[in-house]
Amino acid sequence: FHIPMIGTIPSFSYVYHEKFVLTLQEAFVTLDLFTRLQSPLLEFIIALLQSVEGIVSLGRINKFLQLEEKVQSNKIVRSKFFLPGISIESGHYSWGTKGGFEISNVNMEVKPGEIHAVVGSTGSGKTSLTLAILDQMDKISGQATVRGKVAYVPQSAWIFSASVRENILFGRPFEAKRYAAVLRASCMEKDLESFSEGDLTILSEGGSNLSGGQKQRISIARGAYADADVYVFDDPLSALDAQVSNELFRKMMLEYLNRKAVVLVINQLQFLKQCSVVSVLEG
């Protein structure tokens, strides 16, 4: 005897035998039983999935909490009584592994209003130097002080899934005047016009609906909007064509950030003559 059922349980069978009589009571009780079983069964699957996610998350948190404590090696001062900037004397930094990459004999002094360019061939340690300033590398010897609030624009732009505006504000309150100035300085205005919903257009994770140059300029704009005292840019012009590079260098580096202490890793040597100091990484 076959009873078709509605819902997620397709059907079940009732064994027909002389001894069993399928009464209305039995049919409805059985039906009711199966209907009641549907939702716990579904919830069981969801609970199973969530338990797996929970176990994975716990593992990650555990790994993070057990990481070795990093000793702060650069002196980071945040006080109004000091002029913002960076001072490093005979700095010697390593990546922590024996026989690994090291940078030594680092001497730099960056004051407000200066652009300190850093040049060197690929793999010479430009990114490492910027991370040394941010205290991400281990200092072996030397004196280093970073005074003021620091903003860092990494070599590869990082975009998260939210609107263009949220990517630039990065959790900070919206200030129309500063926001407009930042958009102008990072040459984003034209791009925003071409987006369907302007700066409220939602970007996908990793920014796959943007060009490399757009991603990079959003990343630069995010740094500029942070209103820091010290700016560290790791090769911000790499994904831009010559014309946009020129415009961005002038509007952002020379005009918008003209009172900030700026460290600028750069491969476009034509801009060096407009920088205050040029450091070359050798060996």
Q: In the complex, which residues of this chain contact Mg ion (CB under 5 A)?
A: 126-127, 155
The one of Mg ion, ligand DCP, none whose footprint includes residue 246, by CB under 5 to 8 A per kind, is: none
The one of Mg ion, ligand DCP, none whose footprint includes residue 95, by CB under 5 to 8 A per kind, is: ligand DCP
Q: Which stretch binds ligand DCP (CB under 6 A): 18-26, 50-58, 94-102, 215-223?
A: 94-102
238 binds ligand DCP per the rule CB under 6 A: no
Residue 22: both structure tokens together: 């399928």
- Residue with smaller CB distance to ligand DCP, 130 or 167: 130
The one of Mg ion, ligand DCP, none whose footprint includes residue 101, by CB under 5 to 8 A per kind, is: ligand DCP
Q: How far is the CB of 233 from Mg ion (least distance, A)?
A: 11
Q: Which stretch binds ligand DCP (CB under 6 A): 3-11, 23-31, 125-133, 204-212?
A: 125-133
- Residue with smaller CB distance to Mg ion, 135 or 234: 234
Residues 158-197 that bind ligand DCP (CB under 6 A): none
127 binds ligand DCP per the rule CB under 6 A: yes
3-state secondary structure the chain: CEEECCCCCCEEECCCECCECCCHHHHHHHHHHHHHHHHHHHHHHHHHHHHHHHHHHHHHHHHHHCCCCCCCCCEEECCCCCCCEEEEEEEEEECCCCCCCEEEEEEEEECCCCEEEEECCCCCCHHHHHHHHCCCCEEEEEEEEEECCEEEECCCCCCCCCEHHHHHHCCCCCCHHHHHHHHHHCCCHHHHHHCCCHHHCECCHHHCCCCHHHHHHHHHHHHHHCCCCEEEEECCCCCCCHHHHHHHHHHHHHHHCCCCEEEEECCCHHHHHHCCEEEECCC
Closest to 221 in 3D by CA, of 265, 180, 161: 180
In whole angstroms, give the CA distance from residue 115 to residue 110. Answer: 8
66 binds ligand DCP per the rule CB under 6 A: no
- Residue with smaller CB distance to ligand DCP, 112 or 120: 120
Q: How far is the CB of 275 from ligand DCP (least distance, A)?
A: 17
116 binds ligand DCP per the rule CB under 6 A: no
124 binds ligand DCP per the rule CB under 6 A: yes
Q: How far is the CB of 97 from ligand DCP (least distance, A)?
A: 7
212 binds ligand DCP per the rule CB under 6 A: no
Q: How far is the CB of 159 from Mg ion (least distance, A)?
A: 19
In whole angstroms, give the CA distance from residue 80 to residue 41. Answer: 62
Residues 136-155 that bind ligand DCP (CB under 6 A): 155
123 binds ligand DCP per the rule CB under 6 A: yes
In whole angstroms, give the CA distance from residue 11 to residue 7. Answer: 9
Among 4, 7, 10, 100, binds ligand DCP (CB under 6 A): 100
In whole angstroms, give the CA distance from residue 106 to residue 281. Answer: 9
Q: Contact positions toward ligand DCP, by CB under 6 A?
A: 95, 100-101, 120, 122-128, 155
